[in-house]
Amino acid sequence: MSKRKGSIGERQLINLFWAAGWAAIRSAGSGSTSFPSPDLLVGNKSRVLAIEAKVTKEKKKYFPKEEVKQLINFSKYFGAENWFAIKFHRVDWIFFSPEDLIEKENSFVASLELSEIKGVSFSDLIQSY
């Protein structure tokens, strides 16, 4: 995924959250510092979410173990829920908790197939938790 597509995807998520009555910001330079920093921070009066957002044309998205660890650590210190948001080609945004990703030797993976079992839609994410 190009940086441009990733930025467009992050902005799309920002718009979705604001339209749903949640505050949302992008973290400039996330992933480019030595400190953990998610792509997005979103919240309402009762919840705060730290989100890593990815856009892919593939049916699977791999996450380096370090990236997953950093999101979990940031969320722990910040007091936020941690989520991975994935925009698969021609599919609405799907959200995964790190615990629901499949662990491989050097990475974690989410797939379209897994999204049917463990994935959370945007509307379910903002309403039912």
Q: Catalogue the active-site residues.
A: 30
Cα(127)–Cα(107) distance, rounded to whole angstroms? 30
User: For tokens 């173990």, what's the residue?
Assistant: 65
Q: Which residues contact 62 (CB under 8 A, 6 or more apart)?
A: 104, 107, 108, 109
For residue 56, what are the β-bridge partners?
88
